[in-house]
Structure 1
Amino acid sequence: MRGCVRTSLMAALAVLTLVGCASKPTVEDRSPAQAAPPAAVEWKGPKLKVAVADFEDKTAFGRGRLGAGASDLFTTRLVQSGAFLVVERAKLKTVLDEQALGQSGALSDEEAAQAGRLLGVSLLLIGGVADFGVKTESSSYVVAATRKQTARAVVTIRAVDSTTAEVAFAATGEGQAVTASEKAMGFGQDAGFDETIAGRALSDAVDRLMQDLVERLKTFGWSAKVAGVDKGLVIINAGAKSGLVIGTALAVHHAPRHINDPETGDPIYIPGEKKGKIEVVSFVGEDASACKALEGEDFKPADVVRLSDP
């Protein structure tokens, strides 16, 4: 009799131990190879001025919510990197609406370049959530059951050069997040669909995308435009906010010209020749500079300004 009582007590203790262990879900925010948000990068020279279009949600999940979330995350990461001057998306939307661009859906590269030129940015970044899915795995034992959900998100980006309308580069980020729960002898928590894993998977994908993107952008040359000439000074659309400093020497080039491909009709851009050299002497407005001419003359609006060789 005592043996039976002892056995029952041990069995009850074992069940309680299982219940205690199963009462809380286990959550893993990211995949084992965790991607950390990019730290501020060491950036030489002025910041690249970019604009971010609303991400296209190509998935069936969330009725477009993933696209909006990815746009917000991506813009935040760009600012955090310290390498970019990001134009507000509201300004981009105003330009798109006023110029009736992207009316048929996603922006074409030519439309993106046109919007980029009107905003005065070097690159217009067009992204999308290419894929999203959740896999659920369940395991049952004699006195316990486990359930695990794994979310996977794929985010893409292409960077359109506003001067040439060419895709300067493209990048892809794939992210993952996991959540799990245990249930023993009817106790514990069931793992219904956990919407937070969608956000974590998306964040992981954007972080991985940024790691690739920042490295690619390091090889992309900075540029600005001549806005006009006032009282002998050349005004350009970049200033202290963009990271310029007084005394910076800049080369001025003719705006690129283009001819059309006879077979496809697509424009072929030909870089403009160098026409002179200027130097930043003061800052004006929100983000512009006044420059004196060191070499050349007849500088005109839309001339392209680049960092000058020493």
Structure 2
Amino acid sequence: MRFGLLVAATSALLQLDLPRMTGANLSINQTVAWSQPNPSRRRIAVLDFEFASTGLTGAGLGSGSAYGSYGPSKGVSDLLTNKLVQSGNFIVVERSQIERIIQEQNLGASGRVDAATAAQIGRILGVDVVILGSITKFNLEQKQSGGFGGFGIAVSVNESKANAIVQLTARLVSTSTAEILAVAQGEGQTSKRENQVSVAGFGGGSNTNNIDSLLSGAAEIAVSQLVTEINSNAEKISLLPAVQPALNAVIADVTGPQITLNRGGNDGYRPGMKLRIERIVKEVKDPTSGQVLRTITQPIGQMTLTEVDARSSLGIVNSGVGIKVGDVAKPISSSP
């Protein structure tokens, strides 16, 4: 019974906070506010939480269940991402972008991500801090009592009480050093009492919606506590040196001194960043497979970014002539 209750609750947890994410509020897909840049805000990424519940009621959501390793991990991670965006203290990377990088680089093959791997993911994303988390408790406890009979008819009145407890821990990992900068914890508890009347064995029964609501409410309380602790480290994080993106860009357009690149904020590019422009002069290929082993480039100029959106960047040429579409732009310094 416990497994069935938690599986039902998991589906509700994955939709936490979605009704309030319309209109003026930000959605998870609107995680980078380019129109209001703030140089003190650092870029962070939230990885999927590890499900490591110590409670018996969490046992059915492990790797052997129908959900695989999915469980409530994604729901908690999405909720944390949303609330961090709403807090306004950080630039939070879209979770779809994180998942793409993990799949492309095969960085989550082992099923667990340690601090060193998290730092590697963060450097590719161009973020300053990666948040690793664990769900240490995701429990629902139910107790029932009471009952009586009369007039030859079996009538019972049962009082049931359900308690939901969710405990979370999070580690803030520097992508530059793989150092754990801070640890945050959150715990949420919700409970509900209700009476159920049964006549001759008919009536009563558990309410799945109530179970969903209890666990979802406890998770939201726990995540809110995490956000408070993470935000308390915002000033410390803002003092970290900006991380230089690991991915090079390709010039998509040249109009006079103005250059457009095919990478933007999703890849860690920022206004004020300086890049060295290089031209590929030779490709060294494997003689057996034909795959390119390395490229030999020649520096031809430098540029500075002036505008950045999610997928592209705009900059001006500081030095160099003859720059053309297809040339490579390599970050050499990050904006302060």
Give the TM-score category using the shorter length.
Answer: 0.5 to 0.7
1:220, distance to aligned residue in structure 2 (A): 1.0
Secondary structure of 1:121's aligned partner: coil
% identical equivalent positions = 27
CA distance in 2, matches of 1:108, 1:212: 21
Match of 1:196 in 2: 213
Larger Rg over CA atoms:
1
Q: 2:244 aligns with which of 215, 218, 225?
A: 225
Match of 1:48 in 2: 42
Secondary structure of 2:191's aligned partner: strand
Q: 1:61 to 1:171 in 2, by over 3 A?
A: farther
**In the alignment, structure 1 residue 208 sits paired with structure 2 residue 221:** no
Q: 1:288 to 1:165 in 2, by over 3 A?
A: farther
Secondary structure of 2:229's aligned partner: helix
Does the 8 Å CA contact 1:182/1:190 hold for their aligned counterparts? Answer: no
Q: 1:281 to 1:121 in 2, by over 3 A?
A: closer
Q: 1:282 aligns with which of 287, 303, 306?
A: 306
Mind listing any 5+ residue stretches in structure 1 that lack a counterpart? Answer: 1-36, 252-279, 294-299
Match of 1:266 in 2: none
The residue identity in structure 1 corresponding to 2:212 is E
What does residue range 34-183 of structure 1 map to in structure 2 within 5 Å? 45-59=39-53, 60-63=59-62, 64-140=70-146, 144-183=157-196
Instruction: Please say which of residues 120-129 and 54-63 is displaced more in the overlay.
Output: 54-63
Does the 8 Å CA contact 2:44/2:127 hold for their aligned counterparts? Answer: yes
Match of 1:263 in 2: none
Q: 1:205 to 1:75 in 2, by over 3 A?
A: same
Instruction: Please say which of residues 97-106 and 184-193 is displaced more in the overlay.
Output: 184-193
1:99, distance to aligned residue in structure 2 (A): 1.8
The residue identity in structure 2 corresponding to 1:212 is E
1:181, distance to aligned residue in structure 2 (A): 0.6
The residue identity in structure 2 corresponding to 1:202 is A
Q: 1:224 to 1:238 in 2, by over 3 A?
A: farther
Q: Deviations over 1:212-258 (max 9, x none)?
A: 11112232126253779x9799x9x987xx9x88xx8x99xxxxxxx
**In the alignment, structure 1 residue 301 sits paired with structure 2 residue 318:** no
The residue identity in structure 1 corresponding to 2:104 is E
Q: 1:61 to 1:47 in 2, by over 3 A?
A: farther
The residue identity in structure 2 corresponding to 1:225 is Q
Secondary structure of 1:160's aligned partner: strand
CA distance in 2, matches of 1:170, 1:197: 26
Secondary structure of 1:218's aligned partner: helix
Q: 1:224 to 1:179 in 2, by over 3 A?
A: same
Q: Deviations over 1:66-98 (max 9, x none)?
A: 112111211111111122222222222222222
Secondary structure of 2:71's aligned partner: helix
Instruction: Please say which of residues 165-174 and 137-146 is displaced more in the overlay.
Output: 137-146
Does the 8 Å CA contact 2:123/2:244 hold for their aligned counterparts? Answer: no
Q: 1:185 to 1:281 in 2, by over 3 A?
A: closer
The residue identity in structure 1 corresponding to 2:230 is L
Secondary structure of 1:148's aligned partner: strand
Does the 8 Å CA contact 1:51/1:121 hold for their aligned counterparts? Answer: yes
CA distance in 2, matches of 1:61, 1:198: 15
Match of 1:272 in 2: none
CA distance in 1, matches of 2:316, 2:174: 25
Q: 1:93 to 1:66 in 2, by over 3 A?
A: same
CA distance in 1, matches of 2:48, 2:174: 17
Q: 1:302 to 1:92 in 2, by over 3 A?
A: farther
CA distance in 1, matches of 2:234, 2:133: 16
CA distance in 1, matches of 2:305, 2:103: 37
Q: Aligned residues, how many? A: 235
TM-score by length of 1: 0.60
1:120, distance to aligned residue in structure 2 (A): 0.9
1:107, distance to aligned residue in structure 2 (A): 0.9
The residue identity in structure 2 corresponding to 1:173 is G
Task: Say what the alpha-carbon RMSD is for the aligned residues.
Answer: 4.4
